Chain A
Amino acid sequence: MAELEVLLQVLFWGLYAGCIYILLATGLNIIFGVMKVVNFAHGEFLMVGAYITATVFFLSGINPYAIIFLSMLALIGIGAVVERLCFRPILGTSKLNEIFLSIGLIYIFTNSAAIIWGDEWQSIKSPYAGITIPIGSLTVPFDYIIIMVVTAAILCALYLFLKKTKTGREMRATSQNRKGAMLVGINVERIDIISFGIGCALAAAAGTLWVVSGQVFNPYMGSIPAVKAFAIIILGGLGSIPGAIVGGLLYGIAENGAAYYVGGIWKDAVSFIILIIVLVIRPTGLFGESGD
């Protein structure tokens, strides 16, 4: 393999990793943008999405990519329940409450998943595993092309929802000024539930794509992606969806670039070094606005 070919291949892996990060971070950013709550348990929604996908796949054998809709729907419901029962009662109180609540949720979701599905590592095999597509000098697995297309499609759908629907506009209004939104008659509590549900659904989509890419999963898988998602939304700018997209891609590419140039053990460190540099130069993140 020529040097350039290797670099392009590494870039491709970075784009794939970026897709998972983008979905997870965008969901987290929607929740934070609208409700201004810190949810460290966001990675656990990815984990639940992964398990729902795998369980339906094992039981029915239907194409795992089709299960993404079911997984997202299920997480909208779970997210709505979590918002109503857990986050709403503490909304507007100390940030410490949110932090400890979400840490509690991590344990509840992790242990529940371990009881329901067991804590063994699991994986599924995509129906397209083994199919490769030539792109220029590269030969890449078909699954990763689908993952990138699905991610782009979800982001487009989200964009249209936020721009073209009444609920989407209400979400943006609540995100920009919660009190103002209330004054013009927007039911912000309804918007909170919808936002939390959509945020969880995006995490579920990330979980489904994680699973179909052949990566193994177990109940403890959510914590590291969640930490990275937080770093991405800080990097991109709190509450900014374009920031989450650019930040996610940047993270995916930086991680894999670091693994290539300086070794795998620098993967996480390089991403956080980028975060520190961006925050020193632009404390609000790449796309953040002051006062966010």
Chain B
Amino acid sequence: MKLTANFTILFLVIVLIAALFAGCAQQAQTPAQPKEIKIGAIVSMTGPNSNIGKSMWQSAFLAADEINANGGIFVKQYNTKIPIALVQGDDESNQKGGQNAATKLITEDKVDILVGGYSSGVTSAYQQTVAEYKVPYIVTGASSPIITHRTDIDTSTVFHHCPTTDAYGKYTTNFIDQVIRPAVNKKFSFPADRPFRLALLYQDTAFGQGVQAAVNETITKNNLNIQLVSQQKFKMSESDFRTPLTVIKAANPDALYVAAAPNEGAQIVPQARRDVGLTTIFLAVENNDAPEYYKGIGQYGEYSIIESRFSPYTAPTGLVTDAQNAFKNNYFTKWGMYPDMMGASTYEGTYIAAKAIENAGTLNKADIRQALVDLRMPQLIEYMKDGTISFSKDFRESQFNHWMEQLYYNSTIGETRPKIVWPDNLKGTDFALPAWYKPGSA
């Protein structure tokens, strides 16, 4: 009897071990198919950057909706399409919120890939977590080059799908040199060798400092005839710019280049013109090409300039015009407002994530990362260099085509609207100096 019992126990143990090994083997051969592919979107849904954050989230949502309407992303490993589940991480427009959002998305929600990220200061604060878990991350808002250039942590899983401060700082400085400087010289009969007096007002963050460095470097490197007569900085989310603007006015600039977020830029221009009486040309960084900026600057923004690559209110004629207008119209239909530039790149970022997963054919993060490295997909709604979305081999940055817009006041809507004035192959009209413009003097 006792022998039979021992035999039974031994038999059960063997069956159990066999079942266990069989289970492991089966799992290794055909892993369970996930019900959804989780794309985490780190966006500023609350705090000072919430306008941009919402545009980014709503754009990602629209892209996920469109992809899911076609059944989702085809994953070769499972030989089927799997729908996207977009998971939101609110960075609350600050570094601590960003850290919390990234940690939750990666460790609790276990997302397969990340998109989003606005404000270089906020995004760089949680990159350590992204590096630790080696999650592929397509950054679509934070524009400082440090995002992928930094060497203190591993950034190899981070891909930058928005122009860097280096790129647009250089582009804008060249516009000043090639367009505004000759126009001022011509209108006021100045000698051609008169140095152009440029002032800078920039946010004291990686973003603003990046623009300042790019302007200084472009002037020095290309030996441009531009003199920086005042360089003032302000802290993030500042609302009173009257004193630095007074200092800038005292320096008598020919133009003022402002590196600020839309909520700051929308206050700088009215305070400069209305309160300080600065009658000059204002140039804004591309992130200001957003509905809230147009609303904030009102009539004071007339004749000011925005460097851009996507505008809610204009588009150059070309290959992606229809796609861009379709995106704007679909966005308006769904959300009742127009998207901003960060929304456009996040919309594309979601499609890039989907394409990378499809190309990888698996949800393995290392394979998705490699698919992003090898990615070459046709441009979607923004004009890319060579018409292709791909990431550079050195710092994994995609390359955009830019343009410059000048704003004209529309009294019917009580806001300005942009017209493209540069480069020549995209422009709809020429750059113009307003009648009230006064050039600077030494």
Q: Which residues of A contact B (CB under 8 A)?
A: 1, 5-6, 9-10, 13, 16-17, 114, 119-121, 123, 125, 129-130, 132, 139, 141, 144, 214-216, 218, 220-221, 224, 256, 259-260, 263-265, 267-268
Determine which of B263, B274, B277 lies in contact with A214 in the assembled complex, contact meaning CB atoms within 8 Å.
B274
Q: Is the CB of B263 within 8 A of A121?
A: yes
Mask: chain B, 61-94; 1 = CB below 8 Å from A; 0 = not: 0000000000000000000000000000000000
A139 with B277: in contact, given A121-B51, A121-B292, A125-B298 (CB under 8 Å)? yes
**What distance in Å separates the Cβ of B347 from its nearest Cβ neighbour in chain A?**
20
Chain B residues whose C-beta falls within 8 Å of the C-beta of A259 in the assembled complex:
234, 243-244
Q: How far is the CB of A147 from chain B (nearest CB, A)?
A: 12
* A216-B266 in contact given A13-B246, A259-B243 (Cβ < 8 Å): yes
| Chain B residues with CB under 8 A of A129 | 274
What would be 21 A-B contacts, judged by CB atoms less than 8 Å apart? A1-B249, A5-B250, A6-B246, A114-B46, A119-B51, A120-B50, A121-B262, A123-B266, A123-B295, A125-B298, A129-B274, A132-B277, A215-B239, A216-B239, A218-B48, A259-B243, A263-B232, A264-B233, A264-B235, A267-B234, A267-B238
- The interface residues of chain A lying within 8 Å CB-to-CB of B267 are 123, 214-216
Query: B117 near A: Cβ within 8 Å?
Result: no
A216 touches B296 (CB 8 A): yes
Partner of B246, one of A9, A16, A214, A221: A9
> Does B434 belong to the interface (CB within 8 Å)?
no
B374 contacts A by Cβ under 8 Å: no
Are the C-beta atoms of A260 and B243 separated by less than 8 Å? yes
Bound-state CA distance A141–B242 (Å) is 12
Binding site for A on B (CB under 8 A): 46-48, 50-51, 204, 232-235, 237-244, 246-247, 249-250, 262-263, 266-267, 270-271, 274-277, 292, 295-296, 298
Tell whether, in the assembled complex, residue A119 and residue B46 are in contact, meaning their CB atoms are under 8 Å apart: yes
Q: Are A260 and B235 in contact (CB under 8 A)?
A: no
Q: A13-B246, A264-B241 are in contact. List 14 more A-B contacts (CB 8 A).
A: A119-B51, A121-B263, A123-B295, A123-B298, A141-B274, A144-B275, A214-B267, A215-B240, A220-B50, A256-B240, A256-B242, A259-B234, A265-B204, A265-B234
**Residues from chain A with Cβ under 8 Å of B274 in the complex:** 129-130, 141, 214
Task: Report the minimal beta-carbon distance from B127 to chain A, rounded to whole angstroms.
Answer: 24
In the assembled complex, the Cα of A61 lies from the Cα of B271 at a distance in Å of 22
Q: Would you call B296 and A121 a contact (CB within 8 A)?
A: yes
Q: With A and B bound together, what is the CA distance between A125 and B240 in angstroms?
A: 16
A6 touches B250 (CB 8 A): yes
Contact B292 A10 (CB under 8 A): no
Which residues from B are CB-within-8-Å of A224? 237
**Least CB separation from A125: chain B residue:** B298
CB distance from A177 to the nearest CB of B (A): 40
Secondary structure call for the B interface: helix
A10 touches B246 (CB 8 A): yes
- Bound together, the chains give a CA A7 to CA B106 distance in angstroms of 52
Across-interface contacts of B50 in A (CB, < 8 A)? 119-120, 218, 220
User: In whole angstroms, what is the CA distance A121 to B49 when docked?
Assistant: 10
- Minimum C-beta distance from A142 to chain B (A): 11
Q: Are A141 and B275 in contact (CB under 8 A)?
A: yes
Residues of A within 8 A of B275 (CB): 141, 144, 214
What is the CA–CA distance of A220 and B233 in the complex, to the nearest angstrom?
A: 23
Residue of B nearest to A258 (CB): B243
* B240 / chain A contacts, CB cutoff of 8 Å: 13, 17, 215, 256
Interface centre among B50, B240, B243 (most CB of A within 10 A): B243
Contact A120 B250 (CB under 8 A): no
Please, which residues of chain B bring their CB within 8 A of the CB of A121? 51, 262-263, 266, 292, 296
Question: Nearest 7 CB-CB pairs, A to B?
Answer: A264-B234, A259-B243, A1-B250, A13-B242, A256-B243, A265-B204, A6-B250
Chain B: minimal CB distance from A188 (Å): 38
Q: Which residues of B contact A16 (CB under 8 A)?
A: 242
Please indicate the chain A residues that have their CB under 8 angstroms from the CB of B238 in the complex.
Answer: 264, 267
Q: A220 to B263, alpha carbons, bound, how many Å?
A: 12
Chain B residues near A120: list those with CB within 8 A: 50-51, 292
Taking CB atoms, residues of chain A closer than 8 Å to B295 are 123
Whether the Cβ atoms of B296 and A264 lie closer than 8 Å is no
Docked pose: A13 CA to B244 CA in angstroms: 11
Q: A1 vs B245: C-alpha distance in the bound complex, in angstroms?
A: 12
The reply to whether A265 and B233 form a contact with Cβ atoms under 8 Å apart is yes
Q: Which of B237, B250, B262 lies at the interface centre, i.e. has the most chain A CB atoms within 10 A of its CB?
A: B250
What B residues does A17 contact at CB under 8 A? 240
